[in-house]
Chains A and B, each alone.
Chain A
Amino acid sequence: MSTFSGLSTAASGLAAARRGMDVVGQNIANQTTDGYTRQRVSTHAVAALQAGGIGRGALPGQGVAVDGISRLGDALLDARVRDALSASGFWSTRAVAATTAEAALGEPTGDGLAARLSAFWSGWQDLSNTPDSGAAGAVVLESAQELAGRIAEGYRAVASQWAGARATVDTTVSQVNAAADRIAAMNRQIRDALASGRSANELIDQRDLLAQNVARMVGGRANVEADGTMTVRVDGNALVSGADARHLAVSGPTSIDSGERVSIAWEGATGFPVAITAGELGGTLAVLAPEGEGGELAQVAAAYNSVATALADRVNAQHHAGATASGAPGGDFFAVAATGPAALGLTVVPTSAAQLALARPGSGAYDATNADAMSQIGASDGSPDAIWADQVLRFGVATAGAVQRARLSETAAVTATTSQQSVAAVDGDEETVTLLTYQAAYQASARVISAIDEALDVLINRTGVVGR
């Protein structure tokens, strides 16, 4: 055993304490960094040199060695956060879309379609009271225009929300593709770093953050392979595998009118759609789905169309049954365009009050039996009002359900994030204590060095000077 071995033991202690303080510094510096996972220096005691032979007696260890810098994350908790985020992304997207569409309905207020319908029927009743008054006829025509306008406006609001959501699909898919590329690039760096024994902690933090974003956007599964790379799978196929990333591509209509499905496929394999049922993208696709597949927006649009059709059918049938003041039979009151959505193609045919068929055919010029019958359509079975009220009710229930589930999945995501953070987040107090510990260790190691130094000083400088 060397005379100076104590010095090198103490020096290793100094180095370890220094490294420890450096890591504490890194933790504190990144206390608020998104996705940062706290780190610790891991050390082990170096065993005594046993070379030499028998009879040398017990020897102390050779100090401390730094193994590396460990990352105190938990892969299971990370995976749970990704799952929770994908569910919360899905439901919150649907809830936001549903509440937006619901606000556009404007029910049950005086601005809603139901109120417009009531006012329209009421106008016919007023007209039946004063068939001789041009004013009441003008009011009916005006409220019919307003009603047709309100239906078209409601439909357009839904259509533009649909178009907005469709644009979001494009954006989200390109974000996912970009994130996949970055994850693949980081996988390569991490693999190289780990293979050469360097620390990849910060890279892993960033990659996990990207994986969280991908999970929030498209769901999927991610797991870490033996070589440190992360494989991300969407609908069972790899989005990222090792240093390779595949891209998603969007296909489908860009307007609600077509009623087709918007679908996602692997780039270059358009024929094989990818089923995305989670994450924000899944939520948006569910919102965009055709009416038959439960797409909320398509259902509202269809409700506007069926209200427009029912309104035109019922009013026209009643209008045909009547006669105008001059005795001519009533023509169409509403016209529906042959092409395109009925809600947008609804127009009012009569241009003046004289063309309104108020009377029962063959009765007096001021007979208003037909106008009275017209005003009663609103209260009858299968009326546009009933179709609309039913739609508002069903949409309200669906929206309430989506909001409820969004809240639940949000709570689950918060819980998962809290558990993850409780392990991975940096705590200032804890770091302060660790810092103090390393500081003390450093001071103690320094003290050991000066103790050995003094001892050696006695040995070297004061030995053999007796009587000098």
Chain B
Amino acid sequence: MISRVTATAMTQSSMRHLQANLSQLARLQDQATSQRAFTAPSDDPAAAATALAVHALQQRNGQYARNIDDGLSWVTTVDGAITASTSLLRRVRDLTVQGANDGALDATAKEAIAVELEGIRGELLAQANTTLLGRSVFAGTSDAGAAFDADYGYTGTTGSEVLRRVSDNVSVRVDADGEAVFGAGADSVFALVDSIVADLRSGTNVASHLTQVDSRLAAMLGAQGAVGARQSQIERAKEATVDDSVSLEARRAAVEDVDSVEVLVRLQAQELVYRSALAVTGRVLQPSLMEFLR
């Protein structure tokens, strides 16, 4: 059917081809400058679905990384407080052993020990009331200002846990039960130190308290072990999160980002095509029979 070629038809088809070339060029240029392989879901629906899913995963992963950092600061604070408390308690044990030498120590020496023990009790109480950004780390989910009040009463919520989600299915406890570590009321480590001080001053032999000190020390060390185990669990989760973030970023880049070299090469090729199309169009549209008559 297309046997007759007219100047109009050639002009129109040249225009159309130039337009097609130019739109290809614009698309490649857009890709090269934005570095995005697609701009709308319809460009590549499968890639868009993957991109949406990966974005959500990245967002969650980033959130877990924040949770983990926050959790780590909790466990290190708790660990630090317990470590300080155990060394204080060891000092209490040493002083108790020293104070039990009734024959070798006079009342003045015992008073000196008692004063030091009182200081240690204050430090222990301060450690037990350690806060992180205003929250008492041994008080569980309670909102009372301090975990232990002046009467050594435990103000925390018994049995509650402070949790941090470190991955989709795992939450890790980041606090320690203050009551388990320090005891509460008359059973507390503070009351224990107070009773040692009272016995020293009244002249009663303090050796009998050593077993209580030892059992409290064992409780603290047990709690510290648990905190340490959870710390290493969080650190493992952190490594996993970092690995995940790298692989998620790789997946996102593979789907969303363009291969710069490929796009540049294609851009060059398309530019060449466009230039040749322009040159050819320029030559084809010029001549007319009029120029060759007379």
- Show the binding face of A for B, using Cβ within 8 Å: 31-32, 77, 98-99, 102-103, 105, 107-108, 114-115, 118-119, 121-122, 125-126, 128-132, 325, 359, 363-369, 372, 375-376, 378-379, 385, 389, 392-393, 395-397, 399-400, 403, 414, 418-419, 421-423, 425-430, 432-433, 436
Q: Does B283 contact A (CB under 8 A)?
A: no
Which of B92-100, B111-119, B139-147, B230-238 is the contact stretch? B139-147
The interface residues of chain A lying within 8 Å CB-to-CB of B1 are 77, 419, 422-423
Per the bound structure, the CA–CA distance linking A372 and B60 in Å amounts to: 12
The minimal Cβ–Cβ distance linking B60 to chain A, given in whole angstroms, is 7
The interface residues of chain B lying within 8 Å CB-to-CB of A119 are 59
CB <8 Å contact, A129 and B67: yes
CB <8 Å contact, B45 and A364: no
Per the bound structure, the CA–CA distance linking A378 and B7 in Å amounts to: 62
Q: Does B289 contact A (CB under 8 A)?
A: yes
CB <8 Å contact, A385 and B56: yes
The interface residues of chain B lying within 8 Å CB-to-CB of A77 are 1
CB <8 Å contact, B163 and A125: no
The minimal Cβ–Cβ distance linking A310 to chain B, given in whole angstroms, is 16
Residue in A125, A365, A436 whose beta carbon sits within 8 Å of that of B165 in the complex: A125
Residue in A107, A363, A385, A395 whose beta carbon sits within 8 Å of that of B157 in the complex: A363
With A129-B66, A367-B160, A397-B45 in contact, do A422 and B143 touch (Cβ < 8 Å)? no
Per the bound structure, the CA–CA distance linking A126 and B42 in Å amounts to: 34
CB <8 Å contact, B2 and A418: yes
Q: Does B273 contact A (CB under 8 A)?
A: no
CB <8 Å contact, A421 and B12: yes
Per the bound structure, the CA–CA distance linking A379 and B4 in Å amounts to: 64
CB <8 Å contact, B141 and A115: no
Q: Does B63 contact A (CB under 8 A)?
A: yes
CB <8 Å contact, A114 and B56: yes
With A129-B67, A363-B141, A425-B8 in contact, do A400 and B42 touch (Cβ < 8 Å)? yes
CB <8 Å contact, A418 and B9: yes
Minimum CB distance partner of A410 in chain B: B16
CB <8 Å contact, B56 and A118: yes
Residue in B8, B52, B143 whose beta carbon sits within 8 Å of that of A108 in the complex: B52
With A98-B42, A128-B165, A364-B157 in contact, do A427 and B8 touch (Cβ < 8 Å)? yes
* 29 pairs from A and B in contact (CB 8 Å cutoff): A31-B7, A107-B48, A114-B52, A119-B59, A122-B59, A129-B66, A129-B70, A130-B133, A131-B141, A325-B143, A364-B140, A364-B141, A364-B160, A365-B142, A369-B163, A372-B165, A379-B168, A393-B45, A393-B52, A395-B42, A399-B40, A400-B45, A414-B16, A421-B9, A422-B4, A423-B1, A429-B289, A433-B289, A436-B293
CB <8 Å contact, A125 and B67: yes
CB <8 Å contact, A99 and B42: yes
Minimum CB distance partner of A395 in chain B: B41
CB <8 Å contact, A429 and B59: no
CB <8 Å contact, A107 and B288: no
CB <8 Å contact, B59 and A118: yes
- 16 other A-B residue contacts (CB within 8 Å) besides A114-B56, A118-B55, A125-B63: A107-B52, A108-B48, A108-B52, A122-B62, A129-B67, A131-B141, A325-B143, A363-B141, A365-B141, A366-B143, A369-B163, A372-B171, A389-B49, A422-B5, A425-B9, A429-B289
With A129-B66, A418-B13 in contact, do A393 and B160 touch (Cβ < 8 Å)? no
CB <8 Å contact, B8 and A365: no
The interface residues of chain B lying within 8 Å CB-to-CB of A372 are 163, 165, 171
CB <8 Å contact, B66 and A126: yes
CB <8 Å contact, A403 and B42: yes
Per the bound structure, the CA–CA distance linking A399 and B43 in Å amounts to: 9
Q: Does B290 contact A (CB under 8 A)?
A: yes
Minimum CB distance partner of A358 in chain B: B141
With A103-B40, A429-B288 in contact, do A365 and B48 touch (Cβ < 8 Å)? no
The minimal Cβ–Cβ distance linking A82 to chain B, given in whole angstroms, is 17
The interface residues of chain B lying within 8 Å CB-to-CB of A125 are 63, 66-67, 165
The interface residues of chain B lying within 8 Å CB-to-CB of A129 are 66-67, 70, 164
CB <8 Å contact, A396 and B55: no
Per the bound structure, the CA–CA distance linking A430 and B6 in Å amounts to: 9
Q: Does B162 contact A (CB under 8 A)?
A: yes
**In the complex, the 3 A-B pairs of residues with the closest C-beta atoms, listed nearest first:** A364-B141, A396-B41, A364-B157
The interface residues of chain A lying within 8 Å CB-to-CB of B5 are 422, 427
CB <8 Å contact, A364 and B142: yes
Q: Does B134 contact A (CB under 8 A)?
A: yes
With A132-B134, A365-B143, A395-B41 in contact, do A108 and B55 touch (Cβ < 8 Å)? yes
The minimal Cβ–Cβ distance linking B209 to chain A, given in whole angstroms, is 33
Q: Does B51 contact A (CB under 8 A)?
A: yes
Q: Mark B250-294, 1 if CB is under 8 A from A, else 0.
A: 000000100000000000000000000000000000001110010
Q: Does B135 contact A (CB under 8 A)?
A: yes
The interface residues of chain B lying within 8 Å CB-to-CB of A98 are 42
The minimal Cβ–Cβ distance linking B148 to chain A, given in whole angstroms, is 16
The minimal Cβ–Cβ distance linking B283 to chain A, given in whole angstroms, is 16
Q: Does B3 contact A (CB under 8 A)?
A: yes
